Amino acid sequence: MNRAPIYLDHAATSPLRPEARAAWEAAVGTADFNPASAHGFGRAAYDALEAAREQLARIVGVPRQDLVWTGGGTLADNLAVLGFARAHAGERPLLVVSAVEHKAVLAAARRAEAEGAELVVLPVDKSGSVVPAELEAALVGIAAGRPALVSVMWANNEVGTVQPVADLCRISHAHGALFHTDAVQAFGKLQVSLTDVPADMLSLTAHKIGGPVGIGALIVRQGMQLEPLVYGGSQERGLWPGTQNPLGAAAFTAAAGAAVGEISASALRWSSMRDTLEADLRHGIEGLVVHAANASERLPQLLSIGVPGADAATLLMGLDLAGISVSSGSACSSGSQAGSHVLAAMGIAPADAYAVLRFSFGPFTSEAEVARAGEATIRAAAQARAVVSG
């Protein structure tokens, strides 16, 4: 008997929520025009775009003028990090990032370093967390007035570690540095508000919370100096020029409102399913490693495990054949053979076969689906180990 497939890779992309689809469809005929056009159709599209900006800014806790639409989270991260460095290119700006950042931040920081910025990469502890004292040490002695930006993600996309962003933001500001946080994985799963964590910049994207692919946002506090990465128009304060996406903005905002409104209930349900799955896998797979198990806080909907002595390709294939869709880590690194920079930074770099799986739940993931995934994973792990042992 064929059984319905189970999708547990919401940390890569969460399928379009009904609320986002409804908002998109309701906006067709009104918002599917160029909001920069001066005629009535353009004005209607502009009104839809700005209504979405107002609503999403209110959800995040910032004035509407602080929200800049972008093409996604990676683009928002690049605009924040590389845009800051290029805006201060003549002053040799200081960039401080953690070793477990998304590659959108790390690659942008490395590019800025090649262009003359000073880069400091902060280590993390075994749970994947930045130690606030390490940031304090990195910022001690910054010359007064020297441009400095700290970028630490709110929650890790591979292992789920939630960073102490409030403390890191406070330390940054105390030393005269600005603070950016990539909240792509945290938004809609944790309470993300710039009222509580007064970051200077914050990155968001729609497709991690059931919105459409291809639209994101960067919160940019007034007075921030950024150099745009692309040129050709005055849209989005000149920081992200080009024809804007009112349909995407409407759907993004609807998904955000739904996800944030459900956080309290969803977090309880997700964390219960995560803990049950973790316990089942520990019982069924000898020597299982749970990544970030000792973190002070983890994302409620994400579980990352390692299976020593197992062939990774065989394990993923076995789950796919069983109708279980999971990932081996970040989707952005799925084509890389270099291994996970996040696990390496945490001190997990096994020399022998080591298969990594990341389970991530969505708004409609059920307990029955998670239980079935656990059973399938235990069977597939045994098969993957048999391939290695011969």
- Tens of pLDDT along 296-344? 999 999 999 999 999 999 999 999 999 999 998 654 444 334 489 999 9
Measured between alpha carbons, how far is 217 from 67 in angstroms, rounded to an integer? 7
> What are the Cα distances from residue 236, in Å, to 70, 85, 218, 310, 388?
9, 19, 10, 49, 53
Q: Give the chain's residues under pLDDT 70.
A: 1-2, 329-338, 390
- What pLDDT was estimated at residue 330? 52
**Residue 312 and residue 166 share a domain:** no
CB 196 within 8 A of CB 162: no
**Residue 200 and residue 326 share a domain:** no
Helix (H, G, I), strand (E, B) or coil at 171: helix
Structural domain count of the chain: 2
- What pLDDT was estimated at residue 351? 77
Question: Considering 231, 260, 289, which residue would you say is the last residue of a domain?
Answer: 260
CB 277 within 8 A of CB 46: no
> CB-based contacts of 259: which residues, under 8 Å, 6+ apart?
17, 187, 188, 189, 209, 210, 266, 363
In the block, which residue shows the tokens 């993300």? 192
State which residues form the domain around 35: 18-260
Measured between alpha carbons, how far is 73 from 50 in angstroms, rounded to an integer? 20
Measured between alpha carbons, how far is 250 from 75 in angstroms, rounded to an integer? 19
In a domain, 1, yes or no: no
Angle at 84 between CA 79 and CA 85, to 5 degrees: 115
Question: Considering 228, 244, 260, which residue would you say is the last residue of a domain?
Answer: 260
Q: Which listed residue (332, 378, 382, 388) is catalytic?
A: 332
In a domain, 83, yes or no: yes
Question: Considering 241, 260, 279, which residue would you say is the last residue of a domain?
Answer: 260
In a domain, 119, yes or no: yes
**Residue 191 and residue 152 share a domain:** yes
- pTM for this one? 0.95
Partners of 324 in the beta sheet?
A: 6
- What pLDDT was estimated at residue 334? 42
- Residue-wise burial string across 70-107, b where 16 or more C-beta atoms lie within 10 A, e elsewhere: bbbbbbbbbbbbbbbbbbbeeeebbbbbbbbbbbbbbb
Angle at 147 between CA 145 and CA 150, to 5 degrees: 125
Catalytic residue status for 332: yes
- What pLDDT was estimated at residue 2? 61
What's the CATH number where 204 sits? 3.40.640.10
In a domain, 375, yes or no: yes
